[in-house]
Amino acid sequence: MCIGVSPGANCRADYPHPPIAREGWPFLAGSLALAILVTWLAGWAWASPLWLLALFVLQFFRDPPRQVPIGEGIVLSPADGRVVAVEQTDDPWLNRKALKISVFMNVFNVHSNRSPVDGEVKGRWYNPGAFVNAALDKASTENERNALWFRTADGQDVTCVQVAGLVARRILCYVGEGDTLKRGQRYGFIRFGSRLDVYLPTDARPRVCLGDKVKAGSDVLAEFPR
């Protein structure tokens, strides 16, 4: 097994937040109001598709708390989903060779994005782009994306890139240069399918394999050498 934390590892509780992401409150309120209205006017048969839509919205915007591992040199997944890349490549944001690990989120995954490390945001870049399938490699260079450059206390540089997907049309990021984040802290959201690319120093050791399913803020992607 490639993912997760070693048995007996220390964890800390995630900070309190609503179980439904605040980004979804207008969508949930609107879908529920429409379903209730049609039920009242036309009955359950006509309203049933709208209730299914409301259930989809509810599951899409769920944001469960996570147990965040405590330990030196570990890099957590910034997103829920499936690992679609573990490779040596170029980091286009910091102009360096890097280990890239990508996590693809489908519409049934939790879409909150969390900091992979304890560190200061040293830079932030936004690039407009296309909306090709986020599971494809070319999404990393062609799609709309928002990149954060983290630097840890011991000088490790980590680039974490939110990438829009085929149906994703909104990348949300609530932090900027100079902010300091804790590992597992929520910092953004992408609506309706996307991916996260993490670029690490080349000597970082992967702890995941292609096809592994990971959870943001609780599963370990890689670790730095000690």
Q: Count of alpha carbons within 13 Å of 37, Cβ hemisphere only?
A: 6
Q: Is 194 a catalytic residue?
A: yes
Q: Write phi, then psi, for 75 (nearest 5 degrees).
A: -120, 120
Which one of the listed residues 77, 112, 140, 194 is annotated catalytic?
Answer: 194
Rounded Cα distance between 101 and 95, Å, is 17
Side chain identity at residue 145, one-letter code: R
Q: Which residues contact 41 (CB under 8 A, 6 or more apart)?
A: none
Q: Is 217 exposed, middle or buried (0-12, 13-18, 19+ CB in 10 A)?
A: buried
Written as six digits, the tokens of 59 are: 């599951």
Q: Which residues are catalytic?
A: 194
